[in-house]
Amino acid sequence: MRLFSFARVKAVLLKEFVQMRRDRTTFAMMVGVPIMQLILFGFAINSDPRHLPTALIDRDHSSFSRSIVYAAENSTFMDIIKRPATDQEAERLIREGEVSFIFIIPENFGRDLVRGDKPQVLLVADATDPSASSGAVNSMKQIVEAGLVRDLSGSLSHLAQAPPPVDVVLHKRYNPAGITQYNIIPGLLGIIIAMTMTMITAVAITREKERGTMENLLAMPIKPLEMMVGKVSPYVIIGYVQTCVVLVASQFVFDIPMAGSYLVLFAAVTLYIVVNLLIGFFFSSIAETQMQALQMTFFMLLPQILLSGFLFPFLGMPRWAQYIGEALPATHFMRLMRGIMLKGADSGDLFASFWPLGVIMVAVGTIAMIRYKTTLD
């Protein structure tokens, strides 16, 4: 029976350190993932969003309406970035996702307030993400009353007494009941596709390298673009199957409405599937082993979950995190899916989310082909 030897343990230990030094990609992931998690969870994630973009329609332009507007902005829940001239323009802004709220003060608001007629103000909220709009919706009555405190003094002080002098009407668009599944399920499809399409492609091509069959492919008279198309095309069908499963579940299990066009939806899904397959192809041109390919997939997936608006309100993140999120394909796909399914938006309304996916597809595809040509050389 051989005794336990620290010398042999030391030899194995040194061997593992040497192997770790050689596998720089794995070592970088081991260090990079915790750092990325610390930054994202510590600085980027915010479950209490503030300064959400708001469209204001003030048809009264009185001192009372201005006081309410100032109070709304000082609450930090809303930032008034648009002043549309018509209701139709305001509806377009909220449908396209440019604003989270429409705040409307009607004509003769000040006159009716002085008369004691209890005028109304209207707050229309985009409730596709209930957690993003809940703060302003729940506080709006207090905000309006606080804004009128200084105006309702002296001879008007009797108006400041109960009941409230202004009736705040709240309209929650697209998800009036505030059901979380309405927000999560459409976004979940984006995460499923991002994870499976990227991983399948990256691992499949890297497996060719490990098994030695890549040399057979390199010996074939095939161009990089032909190689890329041939490799990613079969997995598009898998992406369609995943999409159909999620759509069927959303309709018959979670009762999520489908307000838009299936044609526009599948156009968005097709573009998004191709983008993620190309990302996987790019990873496969870098990774030497299947483990490295899986690590790269996870490294890409984590920010897509946290910075895309899937779990946390996108507009509640700091500006630098939003810039990173805009570079992620999942961010634009989330907007497309929620816009199509919940808002009934058409391709024209969603163009601002379609074209970034197209740019990402061209950029990643070009880089992947350059990397693959390097492999051929």
Residue 189 has pLDDT above 70, yes or no: yes
Structural domains of the chain ordered from first start: 52-173 (3.40.1710.10), 180-376 (no CATH)
Q: Give 274's strand partners.
A: none
Taking the C-alpha atoms of residue 127 and residue 101, their distance in angstroms, rounded to an integer, is 9
Residue 349 has pLDDT above 90, yes or no: no
Question: What pLDDT does residue 27 have?
Answer: 65
- The proportion of the chain whose per-residue pLDDT surpasses 70, expressed as a percent, equals 88
**Cα dist from 175 to 63, 121, 178, 335, whole Å:** 34, 21, 5, 15
Question: What pLDDT does residue 268 have?
Answer: 93
Q: What tens digit of pLDDT does each residue of 82-111 get? A: 999 888 999 999 988 889 999 999 999 888
Q: What is the pTM of this model?
A: 0.82
Taking the C-alpha atoms of residue 225 and residue 151, their distance in angstroms, rounded to an integer, is 69
7 or 304, greater pLDDT: 304
Helix boundaries (H) for 42-156: 63-74, 87-95, 109-115, 130-147
Question: What pLDDT does residue 26 have?
Answer: 65
Q: What tens digit of pLDDT does each residue of 109-118 get? A: 888 888 888 8
Residue 204 has pLDDT above 90, yes or no: no
Question: What pLDDT does residue 77 have?
Answer: 87
The neighbour count for residue 283, using CB atoms within 10 Å, is 26
- The proportion of the chain whose per-residue pLDDT surpasses 90, expressed as a percent, equals 23
CB neighbour class for 314 (10 Å; exposed up to 12, middle 13-18, buried from 19)? buried
* Strand ranges, E, within the chain: 52-58, 78-82, 101-105, 120-126, 167-173
Question: What pLDDT does residue 373 have?
Answer: 63
Question: What pLDDT does residue 224 have?
Answer: 65
249 or 221, greater pLDDT: 249
Question: What pLDDT does residue 200 have?
Answer: 86
Question: What pLDDT does residue 35 have?
Answer: 79
> The tokens of 95 are what?
């449908």
Taking the C-alpha atoms of residue 335 and residue 326, their distance in angstroms, rounded to an integer, is 11
> The tokens of 230 are what?
């041939």
Question: What pLDDT does residue 218 have?
Answer: 62
